[in-house]
Amino acid sequence: MAEIGIFAAASVGNANAEPIYYYTGNSETGAATDEENWKGADGKSVTGIIAKTEGNRNEYRFQSGIYDGGKTVGDAWLIADGTDIKIISEGPLTIQNWRPDLIPVKQGVITSTGGKIIFGDNVSFLNNYSSGEATKGGGAIYSNKGVTFGENAKLISNQAAVVIGPWSQSNGGGAIFVDGDADSAVIFGKNALVEKKRGSPWWSNRCFRFSDIR
Protein backbone atom coordinates (compact mmCIF):
# COMPACT_ATOMS: atom_id res chain seq x y z
CA MET A 1 0.00 0.00 0.00
CA ALA A 2 1.09 3.60 -0.44
CA GLU A 3 0.93 6.09 2.40
CA ILE A 4 1.05 9.50 0.78
CA GLY A 5 0.28 12.91 2.24
CA ILE A 6 0.78 15.38 -0.62
CA PHE A 7 0.52 17.15 -3.48
CA ALA A 8 0.58 18.40 -7.02
CA ALA A 9 1.65 21.97 -7.59
CA ALA A 10 3.61 24.20 -9.88
CA SER A 11 7.26 23.69 -10.73
CA VAL A 12 10.04 24.47 -8.30
CA GLY A 13 13.59 25.72 -8.57
CA ASN A 14 16.87 25.26 -6.73
CA ALA A 15 18.38 27.76 -4.34
CA ASN A 16 21.25 29.51 -6.13
CA ALA A 17 23.38 29.33 -3.01
CA GLU A 18 23.62 25.54 -3.15
CA PRO A 19 26.89 24.18 -4.61
CA ILE A 20 26.50 22.03 -7.70
CA TYR A 21 28.43 18.83 -8.39
CA TYR A 22 28.65 16.94 -11.69
CA TYR A 23 29.46 13.28 -12.16
CA THR A 24 31.58 12.86 -15.29
CA GLY A 25 32.30 9.12 -15.18
CA ASN A 26 30.48 5.91 -16.06
CA SER A 27 29.83 3.61 -13.10
CA GLU A 28 26.97 1.12 -13.24
CA THR A 29 27.83 0.12 -9.67
CA GLY A 30 27.37 3.62 -8.31
CA ALA A 31 28.73 7.11 -8.94
CA ALA A 32 28.41 7.76 -5.20
CA THR A 33 31.46 5.56 -4.60
CA ASP A 34 33.43 6.76 -7.66
CA GLU A 35 34.96 9.80 -6.00
CA GLU A 36 37.56 10.66 -8.63
CA ASN A 37 34.98 11.51 -11.29
CA TRP A 38 33.04 14.21 -9.43
CA LYS A 39 33.65 17.85 -10.39
CA GLY A 40 32.39 21.19 -9.16
CA ALA A 41 30.72 23.86 -11.26
CA ASP A 42 34.18 25.30 -11.99
CA GLY A 43 35.26 22.02 -13.61
CA LYS A 44 37.75 21.18 -10.86
CA SER A 45 37.75 17.81 -9.11
CA VAL A 46 36.04 17.62 -5.73
CA THR A 47 36.40 14.99 -3.03
CA GLY A 48 34.56 14.09 0.14
CA ILE A 49 31.12 15.17 -1.06
CA ILE A 50 29.70 11.66 -0.58
CA ALA A 51 30.92 9.26 2.09
CA LYS A 52 29.87 6.11 3.91
CA THR A 53 29.15 6.27 7.63
CA GLU A 54 31.85 4.43 9.55
CA GLY A 55 30.54 1.07 10.68
CA ASN A 56 27.53 1.24 8.34
CA ARG A 57 28.54 0.72 4.75
CA ASN A 58 24.98 1.24 3.46
CA GLU A 59 24.49 4.73 4.96
CA TYR A 60 25.45 7.39 2.43
CA ARG A 61 26.26 10.88 3.75
CA PHE A 62 25.90 13.60 1.08
CA GLN A 63 27.20 17.11 1.54
CA SER A 64 24.37 19.56 1.03
CA GLY A 65 24.11 20.61 -2.61
CA ILE A 66 22.92 19.77 -6.11
CA TYR A 67 24.11 16.49 -7.64
CA ASP A 68 23.70 16.77 -11.40
CA GLY A 69 23.92 13.81 -13.76
CA GLY A 70 23.89 15.92 -16.91
CA LYS A 71 27.56 15.19 -17.67
CA THR A 72 27.49 11.46 -17.02
CA VAL A 73 28.62 9.00 -19.67
CA GLY A 74 26.62 5.96 -20.76
CA ASP A 75 24.85 3.85 -18.15
CA ALA A 76 25.97 5.62 -14.97
CA TRP A 77 24.03 5.11 -11.72
CA LEU A 78 24.14 7.35 -8.67
CA ILE A 79 23.62 4.52 -6.14
CA ALA A 80 23.15 0.85 -6.97
CA ASP A 81 22.96 -1.42 -3.93
CA GLY A 82 21.43 -4.74 -2.99
CA THR A 83 20.44 -4.08 0.62
CA ASP A 84 18.71 -1.45 2.77
CA ILE A 85 20.00 2.05 1.98
CA LYS A 86 19.92 5.20 4.08
CA ILE A 87 20.70 8.58 2.50
CA ILE A 88 21.31 11.59 4.72
CA SER A 89 22.53 15.17 4.39
CA GLU A 90 22.93 18.05 6.85
CA GLY A 91 21.20 20.42 4.43
CA PRO A 92 19.08 20.41 1.26
CA LEU A 93 19.98 17.63 -1.17
CA THR A 94 18.94 17.82 -4.83
CA ILE A 95 19.45 15.00 -7.33
CA GLN A 96 18.72 16.09 -10.88
CA ASN A 97 19.19 15.47 -14.59
CA TRP A 98 20.26 11.84 -14.48
CA ARG A 99 19.03 11.39 -18.03
CA PRO A 100 21.65 11.04 -20.77
CA ASP A 101 20.85 12.24 -24.28
CA LEU A 102 20.69 8.69 -25.60
CA ILE A 103 18.25 6.24 -23.99
CA PRO A 104 20.47 3.69 -22.23
CA VAL A 105 19.70 0.01 -22.10
CA LYS A 106 20.35 0.05 -18.37
CA GLN A 107 20.05 3.07 -16.11
CA GLY A 108 19.27 3.69 -12.50
CA VAL A 109 19.39 6.78 -10.31
CA ILE A 110 19.00 5.38 -6.79
CA THR A 111 18.29 1.67 -6.79
CA SER A 112 18.03 -1.00 -4.12
CA THR A 113 17.41 -4.49 -5.44
CA GLY A 114 17.25 -6.05 -2.00
CA GLY A 115 16.03 -3.59 0.59
CA LYS A 116 14.32 -0.39 1.67
CA ILE A 117 15.48 3.13 0.84
CA ILE A 118 15.27 5.74 3.61
CA PHE A 119 15.89 9.46 3.00
CA GLY A 120 16.41 12.27 5.44
CA ASP A 121 14.72 15.68 5.22
CA ASN A 122 14.85 18.18 2.35
CA VAL A 123 15.51 15.78 -0.53
CA SER A 124 14.52 16.73 -4.10
CA PHE A 125 14.50 14.62 -7.28
CA LEU A 126 14.15 16.74 -10.41
CA ASN A 127 14.08 15.69 -14.07
CA ASN A 128 15.54 12.17 -13.76
CA TYR A 129 14.77 8.98 -15.63
CA SER A 130 15.65 5.30 -15.77
CA SER A 131 15.07 2.77 -18.50
CA GLY A 132 15.79 -0.81 -19.43
CA GLU A 133 15.52 -4.18 -17.77
CA ALA A 134 17.72 -3.15 -14.86
CA THR A 135 14.94 -1.46 -12.89
CA LYS A 136 11.79 -2.04 -15.00
CA GLY A 137 10.79 1.52 -14.16
CA GLY A 138 11.11 4.08 -11.41
CA GLY A 139 12.49 7.20 -13.03
CA ALA A 140 14.23 8.37 -9.86
CA ILE A 141 13.98 5.50 -7.36
CA TYR A 142 13.60 1.72 -7.48
CA SER A 143 13.20 -0.55 -4.45
CA ASN A 144 11.72 -3.96 -3.81
CA LYS A 145 11.02 -3.26 -0.12
CA GLY A 146 9.70 0.30 0.12
CA VAL A 147 10.75 3.95 0.26
CA THR A 148 10.55 6.46 3.14
CA PHE A 149 11.16 10.21 2.99
CA GLY A 150 11.65 12.75 5.73
CA GLU A 151 10.05 16.20 5.59
CA ASN A 152 9.96 18.56 2.59
CA ALA A 153 10.54 15.93 -0.12
CA LYS A 154 10.09 17.05 -3.75
CA LEU A 155 9.72 14.75 -6.77
CA ILE A 156 9.29 16.79 -9.94
CA SER A 157 9.29 15.79 -13.64
CA ASN A 158 10.80 12.31 -13.30
CA GLN A 159 10.10 9.68 -15.98
CA ALA A 160 10.62 6.00 -16.74
CA ALA A 161 10.69 3.87 -19.86
CA VAL A 162 11.67 0.40 -20.93
CA VAL A 163 13.63 -0.17 -24.12
CA ILE A 164 12.54 -3.03 -26.36
CA GLY A 165 14.63 -3.18 -29.51
CA PRO A 166 14.37 0.17 -31.32
CA TRP A 167 11.17 1.11 -29.48
CA SER A 168 10.62 2.68 -26.09
CA GLN A 169 7.50 1.73 -24.15
CA SER A 170 6.19 3.07 -20.86
CA ASN A 171 6.70 0.73 -17.94
CA GLY A 172 5.32 2.72 -15.01
CA GLY A 173 6.61 4.59 -12.00
CA GLY A 174 7.72 7.94 -13.35
CA ALA A 175 9.21 8.83 -9.95
CA ILE A 176 9.22 5.56 -7.95
CA PHE A 177 8.74 1.89 -8.69
CA VAL A 178 8.32 -0.40 -5.68
CA ASP A 179 8.60 -4.00 -6.85
CA GLY A 180 7.68 -5.39 -3.47
CA ASP A 181 5.23 -7.35 -1.37
CA ALA A 182 2.12 -6.50 0.65
CA ASP A 183 4.20 -4.81 3.39
CA SER A 184 5.93 -2.42 1.00
CA ALA A 185 4.99 1.28 1.13
CA VAL A 186 5.97 4.74 -0.04
CA ILE A 187 5.88 7.03 3.01
CA PHE A 188 6.29 10.81 3.02
CA GLY A 189 6.90 13.21 5.88
CA LYS A 190 5.33 16.67 6.08
CA ASN A 191 5.18 19.12 3.17
CA ALA A 192 5.87 16.67 0.35
CA LEU A 193 5.45 17.89 -3.23
CA VAL A 194 5.02 15.53 -6.18
CA GLU A 195 4.46 16.65 -9.76
CA LYS A 196 4.42 14.45 -12.84
CA LYS A 197 6.16 15.06 -16.13
CA ARG A 198 3.95 16.02 -19.04
CA GLY A 199 5.26 14.88 -22.39
CA SER A 200 5.76 11.96 -24.73
CA PRO A 201 3.39 9.00 -24.35
CA TRP A 202 6.46 6.78 -24.64
CA TRP A 203 7.30 7.71 -21.07
CA SER A 204 5.57 6.84 -17.83
CA ASN A 205 4.07 10.02 -16.40
CA ARG A 206 2.44 8.29 -13.42
CA CYS A 207 4.45 9.23 -10.35
CA PHE A 208 4.31 5.82 -8.64
CA ARG A 209 4.05 2.21 -9.60
CA PHE A 210 3.67 -0.84 -7.35
CA SER A 211 4.16 -4.33 -8.69
CA ASP A 212 1.21 -6.70 -8.63
CA ILE A 213 0.81 -7.92 -5.06
CA ARG A 214 -0.79 -11.29 -4.39
pLDDT at 214: 31
d(CA 78, CA 34): 9
d(CA 148, CA 34): 25
pLDDT at 107: 64
What is the four-CA torsion angle of 124, 48, 19, 91, rounded to 10 degrees?
50
Q: What type of residue is 139?
A: G
pLDDT at 17: 81
pLDDT at 93: 98
Q: Is 20 helix (H, G, I), strand (E, B) or coil?
A: strand
142 near 136, Cβ under 8 Å? yes
d(CA 125, CA 138): 12
What are the boundaries of each domain within the chain? 26-134+143-197+204-210
pLDDT along the chain (214 residues), means of 10: 39 64 88 94 95 89 95 84 93 89 63 92 91 68 90 89 54 73 85 71 47 40
180 near 214, Cβ under 8 Å? no
Determine the length of the chain. Answer: 214
